[in-house]
């Protein structure tokens, strides 16, 4: 049954997609390779992004490794803040005592983290 699924999948894929190959001078290939490293992609994946962005009239939609790390850090900080707010809301709904000092210290910590984050930009 697994082989039938794979066979159907491959046939469907071939009907919907085409593989494009073309020769490229070594100079252009090396330039593609260097740029693909910058985006942490294979040459083929990078080239596919370039072509599809061009055909869709998009500007470059790729993110550098540094930009991905920046976004990940932003997400980490905002999730921490959201988690604290959720815990606070949950505790208040069940009538649980909330230690204001812990809350204030936690918010100060995230404020400092956010200030450090913003100063990186």
* Domain endpoint, select from 55, 76, 93: 55
Specify whether 109 is located in the same domain as 74: yes
Specify whether 79 is located in the same domain as 46: no
Specify whether 74 is located in the same domain as 92: yes
Specify whether 50 is located in the same domain as 71: no
Task: Record the pTM.
Answer: 0.49
Specify whether 27 is located in the same domain as 9: yes
Question: pLDDT tens digit string along 45-84?
Answer: 999 988 988 888 877 677 777 777 888 888 888 888 788 7
Of the candidates 61, 21, 26, the one whose C-alpha atom is nearest the C-alpha of residue 41 is 61
Tell me, yes or no, whether 11 lies in a domain.
yes
Specify whether 83 is located in the same domain as 38: no
Residue 109: give the domain boundaries: 65-119
Specify whether 38 is located in the same domain as 12: yes
* Domain endpoint, select from 11, 34, 55: 55
Tell me, yes or no, whether 60 lies in a domain.
no
- Taking a C-beta distance cutoff of 8 angstroms, is the pair 46, 25 a contact? no
Question: pLDDT tens digit string along 90-111?
Answer: 777 777 776 777 777 877 887 7
Q: How far apart are CA 36 and CA 14, in angstroms?
A: 26
Q: How far apart are CA 47 and CA 29, in angstroms?
A: 10
pLDDT of residue 121: 56
């Amino acid at each position: 049954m697994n082989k039938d699924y794979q066979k159907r999948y491959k046939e469907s894929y071939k009907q919907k997609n085409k593989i494009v190959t073309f020769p490229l001078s070594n100079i252009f290939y090396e330039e593609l390779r260097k740029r693909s490293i910058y985006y942490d992609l294979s040459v083929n994946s990078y080239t596919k992004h370039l072509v599809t962005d061009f055909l869709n009239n998009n500007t470059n939609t790729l993110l550098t490794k540094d930009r991905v790390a920046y976004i990940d850090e932003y997400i980490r900080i905002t999730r921490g803040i959201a988690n604290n707010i959720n815990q606070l809301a949950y505790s208040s709904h069940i009538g649980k005592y909330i230690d204001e000092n812990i809350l204030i210290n936690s918010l100060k910590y995230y404020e400092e983290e956010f200030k450090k984050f913003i100063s990186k930009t």
